Amino acid sequence: MELTPGSVFAGYRVIRQLGSGGMGAVYLVQHPRLPRQDAMKVIHAHLSGDPAFAARFEREAELACSLDHPALVRVHDRGREQGRLWLTMQYVDGPDAEQVLRREGTMAPVRVLRILEAVAGGLDHAHAMGLVHRDVKPANILLSPGGTGGERALLGDFGIAQASGATRLTDTGSLPASLPYAAPEQLLGGPITAAVDVYALGCTAYELLTGRRLFDQDSSLALMGAVLAGPRHEAWDVLPAGRPALRAALQRAVATNPDDRPPSCTALAEAVRSAIAPVPTTVVPAGAPAGPHPPPPAPWPLPPVPTAPSSWPPQQAAALPPPPWNPPGQADGGGSHGSGNGRRRRWPWLLGALLLLAAVATAGLLFVSPWGIDSPRGVRVDVQSGGVEVRWEPVAGVDAYEVHRDGVLVGRAEGTTYLDGEVGSGTRVTYSVAAVAEDGERSDPTTSETVVSALHPAADLAAEVGMTGVTLTWAAVDNAEHYEIRRGDEVLETRTAGTSFLDEGPPPGTHDYSVVAVDADGGARSSSVSVVLDVSPWLGAAELAEAFRDLLPDAPGAGGWGDATCGTAEPLSTSPAVAVVSCALPSGIYVDFLQYPDQAALDRRIAQLDALTDPAAPRTTDRGGWYRQSPAGNQVAWEAWGLTEPGRELMEIYIEWDGHTVADLDAAWYYAAPW
């Protein structure tokens, strides 16, 4: 189920979709009673229907609602609607840090420090409440205008928060974290404490400062092994060489043993602040040999130390002890190869990593986790008139694939292509593909680029021949800005905004009319839809022309009976007729041939004539049709009558002659013309 703008879900009016992910889609919604917009996460149906997941979702949503900190996205409410779990939270109008990194590249240290200190304060508040976030990463840090430095950082997605001290990964055994930021104890099923958030915040700080992930291995298994073994030596070489304290602070944050990490997130932020503070100019000690000295690193301007609101007692940051791998007496070492007690504490984790990897390699162990199967690579999308085709590279050992559109499952495929023929008209969509093993295990989804689908063809195209031309009508196409109209190969109109078009005075013949919908920038065009019809020279009066071919020329103009000149005319607004052919004779006689849509319309016409007719005159013709005439003494004499022959029962002949009598009309036309 995909919520559409304007629809109402759980009482909230949907404004637009903000994004989607593995758990569900997020929408911008209008609160039903307050003048406020919220972000609503609607959980996928297959997860909402899982009793274990639903119980955990409701429990953890209640825990998240207890948090109240300016750097944490507030959770407002949660519930179930139409079989789907949902949760509303504070809407933050701005990008996340990962989007900023992709768009702008490496962040300035001053900006990183502001973000780090804000998020650290929020995490420590959660930890004090007994909650661990478990999925701290740049994509979950939202940046909006306002706050110190013109930007405010808020940590979101506390939907997987867990009480600290828990030992199970989740109720279902999957890992509720992004692997490049997951602490080793999360992978090994150890206790979940605040230290996992310290670890992830250290990985995040590294990425914001360098523009690259601390762990960037390609496969899930290699990435898991790298996390368990610890960062490679060369990973730290991208940090400024003149800032060894920064290297030491981040190294300690991502220590393999949780006991070796800073005691709090605020302590990590304080260490980073101290590490990037301006370095004083080097002073040569007395008696030292003269010689050149390298210049100090350029100072980084720092933001002011953040102060909490008065209702927030400042948290005393713990002193940062030297990293465990530094030799005694080295206060600011930056080496990645330690010794002594630090090394002794690290080897059990390395041993665990080796044992875990060996089990995978020798026994083919399949982990029940979202990263146990390699994700499909090379996901590409091709916009076609019949939908959007999604293609990807095969994954070894996989039987099937699931394809999601904007986070909603739309289909399954056994091959490596899928055509989404149900995609909306001219809609911005993003697809993701997950590999599915024989036992039902799924990989992390791989996301495609965002594309705009083709506009749907104009439905219900109809053509009607009228008295002045051919009128085309069609149903409006979603997201179409205008329409192009063609008659055969001839372009009649390129920017029709409405859903109808009049082709005035088209040439006679068989015509193929077509309509193409076009979006605002012309990039998304629908396929052509067409209708074929025969157009008579008499347009909407073709049946009249056929019924009175002995009186009318082959086409509008001269050549009618009695040298009449004839043409089509629009019925008067008071007339129930649908078609009219008018003829003028050189004698001054005017003749109208009229056609009515049904007997009721013809009866209304006769009633109009009854108000004007001579009551003493005959009421029928000698052929059995109805008849009316003008009263004696009229300046303009007129006669009107109907016909009884098949095909002409709903037709009328009306004649008039100014300055003459009905008897003159009878002699000159009624009895003379071959009607």
63-115 pLDDT tens trace: 888 889 999 999 999 999 999 999 999 999 888 898 888 888 889 899 999 99
Q: Which residues contact 234 (CB under 8 A, 6 or more apart)?
A: none
The band of 372, judged by pLDDT with boundaries at 50, 70 and 90, is low
Cβ–Cβ under 8 Å, residues 318 and 264:
yes
- Going from the C-alpha of 303 to that of each of 112, 277, 329, the distances in angstroms are 10, 10, 31
pTM over 0.85: no
Indicate if 135 belongs to the active site.
yes
Cα dihedral sign for 133, 134, 135, 137? positive
Tokens of 171: 């109720």
Closest CA to 312 of 130, 141, 125: 125
**Which backbone phi and psi does 208 adopt, to 5 degrees?**
-65, -35
Look up the CATH number of the domain holding residue 435: 2.60.40.10
Domain-located, residue 168 = yes
Whether residues 116 and 86 fall in one domain: no
Cβ–Cβ under 8 Å, residues 113 and 270:
no
Domain-located, residue 160 = yes
Residue in the structure block whose two tokens are 């650290």: 120
Closest CA to 533 of 493, 567, 570, 503: 503
Residue in the structure block whose two tokens are 């092994």: 225
Domain that residue 508 falls in: 462-535
Tokens of 485: 């109209």
Q: Quick check: 273 pLDDT over 60?
A: yes
Domain-located, residue 289 = no
Which ranges constitute the DSSP H helices of 462-612?
Answer: 542-547, 599-610
Across 147-160, average pLDDT: 74
Whether residues 418 and 365 fall in one domain: no
Cβ–Cβ under 8 Å, residues 467 and 539:
yes
Whether residues 244 and 107 fall in one domain: yes
610-639 residue pLDDT tens: 999 999 999 999 888 999 999 988 999 999
Whether residues 168 and 122 fall in one domain: yes
Among 85-89, 279-283, 319-323, 390-394, name the one with the lowest average pLDDT.
319-323
In this predicted structure, what is the pLDDT of residue 142? 93
Whether residues 121 and 235 fall in one domain: yes
In this predicted structure, what is the pLDDT of residue 277? 72
In this predicted structure, what is the pLDDT of residue 166? 41
Q: Which of 34, 69, 91 is the last residue of a domain?
A: 91
**Which residue in 135, 374, 519, 592 is the catalytic one?**
135
Mean pLDDT score of the chain:
82
**Pick the residue with more confidence: 169 or 26?**
26
Number of domains present in the structure of the chain: 5
Domain-located, residue 304 = no
Q: Which of 315, 349, 372 is the last residue of a domain?
A: 372
In this predicted structure, what is the pLDDT of residue 346? 47
560-581 residue pLDDT tens: 999 999 999 989 989 999 999 9
Strand partners, 533: 511
H/E element holding 89?
Answer: strand 84-90
Whether residues 52 and 101 fall in one domain: no
Tokens of 516: 């193409």
Domain-located, residue 164 = yes
215-272 residue pLDDT tens: 988 777 888 888 998 998 889 998 887 789 999 999 999 999 999 999 999 999 999 9
**Beta strand ranges found along 119-241 (DSSP E):** 131-132, 141-145, 151-155, 162-163
In this predicted structure, what is the pLDDT of residue 25? 83
Whether residues 518 and 555 fall in one domain: no
The helix/strand/coil state of 561 is helix
Whether residues 585 and 617 fall in one domain: yes
Q: Quick check: 177 pLDDT over 70?
A: no
Percent of residues, the chain, with pLDDT higher than 90? 53
The band of 497, judged by pLDDT with boundaries at 50, 70 and 90, is confident
In this predicted structure, what is the pLDDT of residue 157? 79
Q: Which residues contact 329 (CB under 8 A, 6 or more apart)?
A: none
In this predicted structure, what is the pLDDT of residue 578? 95
The band of 170, judged by pLDDT with boundaries at 50, 70 and 90, is very low
Closest CA to 415 of 396, 394, 431: 394
Look up the CATH number of the domain holding residue 18: 3.30.200.20
Cα dihedral sign for 296, 298, 301, 307? negative
Look up the CATH number of the domain holding residue 153: 1.10.510.10
Residue in the structure block whose two tokens are 């095909």: 647
In this predicted structure, what is the pLDDT of residue 591? 97
Whether residues 363 and 413 fall in one domain: no
Cα dihedral sign for 490, 494, 499, 502? negative
Domain-located, residue 305 = no
Q: Which of 327, 354, 372 is the last residue of a domain?
A: 372
Strand partners, 141: 155
Cβ–Cβ under 8 Å, residues 464 and 533:
no
Tokens of 541: 């009066």
Whether residues 86 and 96 fall in one domain: no
Strand partners, 515: 485, 529
- Going from the C-alpha of 172 to that of each of 54, 64, 162, 442, 651, the distances in angstroms are 11, 20, 14, 13, 79
Whether residues 424 and 510 fall in one domain: no
In this predicted structure, what is the pLDDT of residue 171? 36
Dist. CA 611–CA 260, nearest whole Å = 106
H/E element holding 590?
Answer: strand 590-595
**Pick the residue with more confidence: 446 or 330?**
446
Domain-located, residue 313 = no
Among 97-106, 356-365, 463-472, name the one with the lowest average pLDDT.
356-365
H/E element holding 595?
Answer: strand 590-595
Domain-located, residue 421 = yes
Whether residues 164 and 32 fall in one domain: no
In this predicted structure, what is the pLDDT of residue 622? 86
293-350 residue pLDDT tens: 444 444 454 555 544 433 333 333 333 333 333 333 333 333 333 333 444 444 454 5
In this predicted structure, what is the pLDDT of residue 580? 96
**Beta strand ranges found along 442-528 (DSSP E):** 446-447, 451-452, 462-465, 469-473, 482-487, 490-496, 500-504, 509-518
Dist. CA 518–CA 12, nearest whole Å = 32
How distant is the alpha carbon of residue 361 from its chain centre? 41
Amino acid identity, position 599? Q
